[in-house]
């Protein structure tokens, strides 16, 4: 994330001190050594923040823009280490209280302002869906106390492949990690300096460089291994990112790493910029990251920082020093803070659209807010005499008090809306128990409902659709978890028909519906689910630990299926799953062959398979549109939302032992697809069905399974 330490930051590079001046006891002597201005690093900040912002606005265009955060980590390691080393050289120590107080004055005012804004927005059901309330409040609290990265890591969030609805403060993970760096880094340097004085004849600088080098190497090794074994949490874990700060630190401490020769500086600087642009446009959500791939943007940023020659106007050091780049670098911290909440909130604002013009207008608004925050919050807070003229503990206690206030506002958002949230959950439960006649899919599939008209009815309401999901997450494994977790529901009668439900999240979305079907029909339901991992014999094209975990899960589940006494198998999968095309003409052909291979393991035992063509996949949650626009304005083009060739349809074609259900005409008309059918809200996010709507398809699921069971008995 962009640090706000502009006055001591990348503009300053330490040189040997000639004199030691006495500073007031309550002030950190951060200018104890002379320094020279290096504005091209401020321009590098502009590249970093623009990468992140444009990636969030247009993820399909700048697919690797998330590497902007890695650039910031390198810059922060460089500027903070240079500052700490200046103080250590001048005074022999670091006044930790003053150091942390200065960080608090620079970072907290703008940060807490944006968090306060998010807490107020969350409090309003008109600007934020009520279903998002619990996650929003929890993450605002985690961000306020700078542990958001650990919250996301422990909850297995996947930053690059997030399939749900991210909160307004998810981007605070990088700020949290950087604050943890500010706490640990001076402690490491102080310990190394003490060891240098105590055991190495005062060789503080050499021991500090050695210590930080060891931290960098060990952290990089940890990052590579952890990304392979646990890619989602690896993105957020603090020690897995320390090596990027360490790379910047070594540039600050080792003079020979700063290239001053004209040719070397030119090549290094432009090479670093081109490398950053390359990874920004070629990396994507499938890139194993951070891991060893993070070395590319890290070294690219390091190369730009290390390029020191400024003799010619066409050198990168001079290009990055032009006024527009300096301006963006100046506001980078506030721009990073503001852009993400506005992106999340904007679709829910009444009368706000999702066109390119609205996005550009929102981007401009982000810049305006960033400049205003820099001018009227960041800059004044750094020099606020009521804090700077007093001991460090005043700033630190004041910071804690401000954080508590923001936390209380966030908590009050829950208390204010908890009754509404509770009522919404009860309304959904009542709706599922007693749905209206001809509701949902019945309005299309039941000929007796041809005249049904639900008008503007949307159930569940768009603000609550997000919580209308299956209630058995313990039956659903994700990410790198390859355990063949199985759950059993329905009848305990040993003679009851055993029906298996297998697949990815598009199979899991049917769980609650199938539980009711099992209870009503006297079946025993057994399940196996893994996120983004359909029941298919063809490997995914997804590299790294996730693809390997999917393959392992399939093998272990297949062993369980082979040992199970089943009477029918129902499977579903998202149609956009990326399959490896190795050995086939296309990934589609590979997917079709993989489904047939997997299904044959049960059909050859006489067990029928039932599958279903996938539902539409929207670019964004249609509930955002439904909350602020007329229902008719929220339809989407059929050609954009449906996969032209669903491999499930191709795999089922011509197989007598496989029944294919196709509800495409329920979701879509000839040209468009609707988010609401027969008064039923279809989606809880951009591609998963609400339980309420899935329940309206239950009669047709039941009929297909009963027919398959009857045919098996007859044969």
Question: In sequence order, which ranges of 58-167 are alpha helices (DSSP H)?
Answer: 68-91, 96-123, 133-144, 148-154
Residue 29 has pLDDT above 80, yes or no: no
What are the C-alpha distances in Å from 385 to residues 25, 112, 371, 381, 390? 16, 20, 23, 9, 8
| Pick from 244-253, 315-324, 365-374, 698-707: least confident | 315-324
Using DSSP's 3-state secondary structure scheme, residue 487 falls into strand
Residue 15 has pLDDT above 60, yes or no: no
Residue 647 has pLDDT above 90, yes or no: yes
Write the pLDDT tens digit of every residue in 478-496: 888 899 999 999 999 999 9
Residue 23 has pLDDT above 60, yes or no: no
Among candidate residues 108, 90, 87, the one with its CA nearest the CA of residue 98: 87
pLDDT band at 249 (very low <50, low <70, confident <90, very high): very high
Residue with tokens 């590098």: 44
Write the pLDDT tens digit of every residue in 393-404: 999 999 999 999
CATH T-level topology, domain 441-714: Rossmann fold (3.40.50)
Secondary structure element (H or E) that encloses residue 572, with its range: strand 568-572
Using DSSP's 3-state secondary structure scheme, residue 636 falls into strand
Secondary structure element (H or E) that encloses residue 579, with its range: none
CA distance 676 to 630: 11
Position 715 scores a pLDDT of 56
- Torsion over CA: 404, 405, 410, 414 (sign): positive
Neighbours of 213 (CB within 10 A): 15
CA distance 580 to 588: 9
Position 330 scores a pLDDT of 95
Among candidate residues 145, 296, 295, 313, the one with its CA nearest the CA of residue 220: 295
549, 481 in Cβ contact below 8 A? yes
**How far apart, in Å, do the first and last CA atoms of the chain sit?**
64
230, 223 in Cβ contact below 8 A? no
> Percent of the chain at pLDDT above 90?
74
What are the C-alpha distances in Å from 225 to residues 180, 181, 230? 22, 21, 8
| Pick from 28-37, 87-96, 196-205, 550-559: least confident | 28-37
Residue 543 has pLDDT above 80, yes or no: no
pLDDT band at 352 (very low <50, low <70, confident <90, very high): confident
Burial class (CB in 10 A: 0-12, 13-18, 19+), 61: exposed
pLDDT band at 383 (very low <50, low <70, confident <90, very high): confident
What is the token pair recorded at 645?
Answer: 């060739």
537, 605 in Cβ contact below 8 A? no
Residue 557 has pLDDT above 60, yes or no: yes
pLDDT band at 165 (very low <50, low <70, confident <90, very high): confident
What is the token pair recorded at 604?
Answer: 């050859």
Using DSSP's 3-state secondary structure scheme, residue 142 falls into helix
What is the token pair recorded at 76?
Answer: 């922060």
Residue 709 has pLDDT above 60, yes or no: yes
Exposed e or buried b per residue across 545-563, where buried means at least 16 C-beta atoms within 10 angstroms of its C-beta: bbbbbbbbbbeebbeebee
Position 27 scores a pLDDT of 41
Position 664 scores a pLDDT of 96
Position 160 scores a pLDDT of 54
Every domain of the chain and the residues it spans: 39-416, 441-714
CA distance 402 to 355: 38
Using DSSP's 3-state secondary structure scheme, residue 302 falls into helix
Average pLDDT of the segment spanning 360-389: 93
For residues 206 and 161, the model is more confident at: 206
Mean pLDDT (the chain, rounded): 90
Average pLDDT of the segment spanning 493-514: 96
98, 26 in Cβ contact below 8 A? yes
pTM: 0.86
- Torsion over CA: 406, 329, 382, 31 (sign): positive
Residues across the chain: 715
Average pLDDT of the segment spanning 432-450: 93
What is the token pair recorded at 477?
Answer: 């494994």
541, 584 in Cβ contact below 8 A? no
Phi, psi of 451 (to 5 degrees): -100, 5
Write the pLDDT tens digit of every residue in 523-534: 999 999 999 999
Secondary structure element (H or E) that encloses residue 389, with its range: none
Residue 162 has pLDDT above 70, yes or no: no
Position 483 scores a pLDDT of 93
Exposed e or buried b per residue across 414-441, where buried means at least 16 C-beta atoms within 10 angstroms of its C-beta: beebeeebeebbeebeebbeebbebbbb
Average pLDDT of the segment spanning 567-584: 95
Position 600 scores a pLDDT of 97
Radius of gyration of the chain (CA): 29
Write the pLDDT tens digit of every residue in 59-76: 888 999 999 999 999 999
Position 231 scores a pLDDT of 82
Write the pLDDT tens digit of every residue in 292-324: 999 999 999 999 999 988 788 888 889 999 999
Write the pLDDT tens digit of every residue in 325-338: 999 999 999 999 99
Phi, psi of 528 (to 5 degrees): -140, 120
Residue with tokens 């902007």: 68
pLDDT band at 353 (very low <50, low <70, confident <90, very high): low
Burial class (CB in 10 A: 0-12, 13-18, 19+), 579: buried
Residue with tokens 């697949």: 503
* Angle of CA points 627, 631, 634, to nearest 5°: 85
């Amino acid at each position: 994330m962009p640090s706000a330490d502009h006055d001591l930051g990348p503009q300053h590079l330490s040189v040997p001190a000639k004199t030691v001046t006495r500073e007031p006891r309550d002030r950190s002597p951060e200018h104890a050594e002379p320094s020279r201005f290096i504005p091209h690093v401020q321009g590098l900040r502009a590249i970093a923040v623009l990468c992140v912002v444009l990636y969030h606005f247009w993820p399909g265009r700048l697919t690797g823009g998330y590497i902007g955060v890695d650039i910031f980590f390198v810059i922060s390691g460089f500027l903070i280490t240079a500052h700490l080393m200046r103080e250590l050289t001048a005074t022999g120590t670091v006044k930790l209280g003053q150091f942390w107080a200065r960080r608090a004055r620079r970072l907290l005012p703008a940060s807490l302002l944006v968090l306060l804004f998010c807490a107020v927005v969350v409090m309003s059901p008109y600007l934020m869906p009520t279903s998002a309330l619990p996650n929003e409040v929890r993450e605002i609290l985690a961000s306020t106390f700078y542990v958001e990265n650990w919250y996301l890591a422990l909850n297995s969030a996947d930053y690059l492949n997030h399939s749900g609805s991210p909160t307004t403060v998810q981007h605070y993970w990088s700020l949290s990690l950087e604050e943890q760096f500010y706490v640990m880094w001076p402690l490491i340097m102080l310990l190394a300096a003490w060891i240098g004085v105590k055991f190495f004849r005062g060789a503080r600088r050499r021991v500090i460089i050695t210590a930080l080098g060891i931290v960098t190497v060990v952290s990089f090794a940890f990052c590579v291994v952890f990304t392979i074994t646990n890619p989602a949490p690896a993105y957020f874990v603090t020690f897995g990112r320390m090596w990027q700060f360490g790379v910047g630190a070594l540039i600050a401490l080792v003079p020979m790493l700063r290239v001053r020769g004209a040719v070397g500086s030119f090549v290094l600087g432009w090479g670093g910029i081109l490398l950053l642009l390359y990874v920004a446009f070629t990396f994507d959500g499938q890139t194993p990251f951070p891991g060893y791939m993070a070395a590319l943007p890290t070294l690219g940023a390091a190369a730009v920082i290390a390029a020191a020659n400024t003799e010619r106007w066409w050198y990168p050091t001079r290009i990055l020093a032009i006024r527009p780049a300096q301006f963006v670098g100046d506001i980078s911290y506030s721009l990073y803070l503001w852009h993400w909440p506005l992106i999340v909130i904007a679709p829910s604002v009444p009368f706000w659209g999702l066109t390119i013009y609205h996005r550009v207008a929102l981007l401009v608004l982000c810049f305006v807010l960033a400049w205003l925050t820099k001018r009227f919050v960041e800059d004044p807070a750094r020099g606020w005499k009521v804090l700077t003229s007093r001991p460090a503990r005043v700033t630190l206690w004041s910071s804690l008090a401000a954080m508590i206030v923001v936390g209380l506002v966030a908590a009050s958002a829950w208390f204010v809306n908890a009754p509404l949230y509770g009522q919404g959950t009860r309304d959904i439960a009542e709706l599922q128990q007693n749905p209206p006649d001809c509701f949902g899919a019945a309005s299309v599939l039941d000929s007796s409902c041809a005249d049904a008209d639900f008008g503007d009815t949307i159930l569940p309401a768009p603000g609550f659709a997000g919580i209308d999901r299956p209630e058995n997450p313990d039956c659903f494994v994700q990410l790198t978890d390859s355990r063949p977790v199985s759950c059993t529901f329905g009848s305990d009668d040993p003679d009851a028909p055993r029906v298996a439900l297998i697949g990815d999240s598009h199979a899991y979305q049917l769980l609650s519906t199938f539980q009711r079907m099992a209870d009503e029909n006297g079946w025993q339901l057994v399940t196996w689910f893994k996120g983004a991992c359909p029941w298919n014999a063809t490997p995914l094209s997804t590299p790294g630990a996730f693809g390997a975990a999917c393959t392992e899960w399939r093998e272990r589940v297949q062993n369980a299926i082979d040992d199970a006494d089943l009477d029918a198998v129902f499977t579903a999968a998202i149609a956009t799953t990326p399959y490896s095309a190795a050995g086939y003409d296309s990934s589609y052909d590979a997917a079709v062959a993989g489904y047939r291979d997997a299904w044959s393991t049960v059909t050859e035992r006489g067990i029928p398979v039932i599958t279903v063509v996938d539902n539409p996949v929207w670019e964004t949650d249609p509930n955002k549109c439904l909350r602020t626009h007329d229902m008719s304005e929220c339809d989407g083009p059929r050609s954009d939302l449906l996969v032209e060739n669903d491999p499930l349809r191709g795999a089922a074609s011509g197989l007598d032992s496989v029944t294919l259900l196709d509800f495409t005409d329920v979701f879509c008309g000839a040209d468009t697809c609707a988010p609401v059918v027969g008064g039923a809200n279809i989606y809880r996010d951009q591609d998963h069905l609400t339980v309420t709507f899935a329940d309206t398809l239950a009669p047709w699921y039941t009929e297909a399974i009963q027919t398959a069971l009857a045919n098996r008995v007859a044969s």
